[in-house]
Amino acid sequence: MKQVTISTPFITLIVLDYGAIIQKVLVKDKNGKSVNVVAGYNTPNSYLEDNKFLGACVGRYAGRISNGGFELDREMYHLFQKDGVHLHGGKEGFGKKYWTIEEVHQGRQPFVKLSYHSKHLEEGYPGNLKVFVTYKLINNQLHIIHEASTDRTTVVNLTNHSYFRLDDESQINDYDLQLHCSKLVETYTDLLPTGKLISVKETSFDFLKKRKIGTTRLDTPFVLDSGSKIAGMVSSQKTGIAMEISTNQPALICYTPQEFPAICFETQNYPDAPNKKNFPNSKLRPGEIYKNESLFVFDLL
């Protein structure tokens, strides 16, 4: 397993070729101490046994798909499912594959670019898909760029699955969270979408104004407000570290696991969009380029 480190005076990023995983993101806290702000393992081989998608590139379709598959151009494609749900690309998905390190640049704006070739009907998805993910550092900013092209019509939804942990506390209740999301994708108990978008107002999911996470636990597809460049912000008073998220994607899935204190911000399309005609387009056709550009900016309060 290969490991690549790039850094600026503000951020150090460690990436693995396995799963295109972000292993560590090191930033300075208010006391000048270096803090790893993503949950993960110190030993790269430990990720071989991980089932939480820690730091991984998730695909071919991030999130949940219903009905054991989808219909595309009048043809049905069958996907692996568990309890009626297809999750994060299937049995393995991109987070369990070895990627090719295409390029490493250590200059003023360092980056690492990785690629993966997903063959036609891998995990049931049509089309030979060529995927690239680029992690780029500009001063105090982490840019994550997912790109893909295909030789036949398919569906694509890629994201990074890092769990952010801004301090060493045993819970995240005291994190301040703000989301520029007036609506969320309504889901059933199995977290598959109903097809409806509902208002967050007067619910525990209303983070339109900055407030403590408190006891609210999330596994929630939020809809980004149109016209808002910034999707959200999270911060820890203990370390003084704040992180701002912006993206060109329509949704921000926020997830707080029960097992450890952290929060995911998955910038992506709506879950189950291949089966919901009223959801944003998830199709990628030959000659088109899929692109998910997301930006994580670290600062001090």
**pTM beyond 0.85, yes or no:** yes
- Assess whether 266 carries a catalytic annotation: yes
Whole-number pLDDT of residue 172 = 97
The percent of residues in the chain predicted with pLDDT above 70, rounded, is 100
List own/partner pairs for 273-276 with CB under 8 A and 24 or more apart: 273/155, 273/157, 274/61, 274/65, 274/70, 274/72, 274/155, 275/65, 275/66, 275/67, 275/70, 276/193, 276/195
Which residue segment(s) compose the domain that 93 sits in? 3-168+258-300
Whole-number pLDDT of residue 239 = 98
Instruction: State the Cα–Cα distance between residues 68 and 1, nearest whole angstrom.
Output: 33
Q: Please give the single-letter amino acid code of residue 286.
A: P
pLDDT average, residue stretch 33-56: 96
Q: Is 296 a domain residue?
A: yes
pLDDT average, residue stretch 214-225: 96
Q: Is 203 a domain residue?
A: no
pLDDT average, residue stretch 250-266: 97
Q: Is 125 a domain residue?
A: yes
Tell me, rounded to whole angstroms, the distance of Cα 1 from its chain centroid. 22
Total number of domains constituting the chain: 1
110-146 tens-digit pLDDT:
999 999 999 999 999 999 999 999 999 999 999 999 9
Q: Is 115 a domain residue?
A: yes
Band (pLDDT 50/70/90 cuts) for residue 61 is very high
pLDDT average, residue stretch 275-286: 97
The percent of residues in the chain predicted with pLDDT above 90, rounded, is 98
Q: Is 126 a domain residue?
A: yes
Q: Is 76 a domain residue?
A: yes
* Catalytic hit among 146, 161, 202, 244: 161
- Residue 159 and residue 267 in contact, taking contact as beta carbons nearer than 8 Å: yes
Band (pLDDT 50/70/90 cuts) for residue 229 is confident
Is 228 a residue whose pLDDT tops 90?
no
72-89 tens-digit pLDDT:
999 999 999 998 899 999
Whole-number pLDDT of residue 279 = 98
Q: Is 253 a domain residue?
A: no
* CATH code, domain carrying 46: 2.70.98.10
Q: Is 225 a domain residue?
A: no
Q: What residue spans of 6-49 are helical by DSSP H?
A: none
Average pLDDT of the chain is: 97
Band (pLDDT 50/70/90 cuts) for residue 56 is very high
Whole-number pLDDT of residue 288 = 98
* Catalytic hit among 123, 266, 288, 293: 266
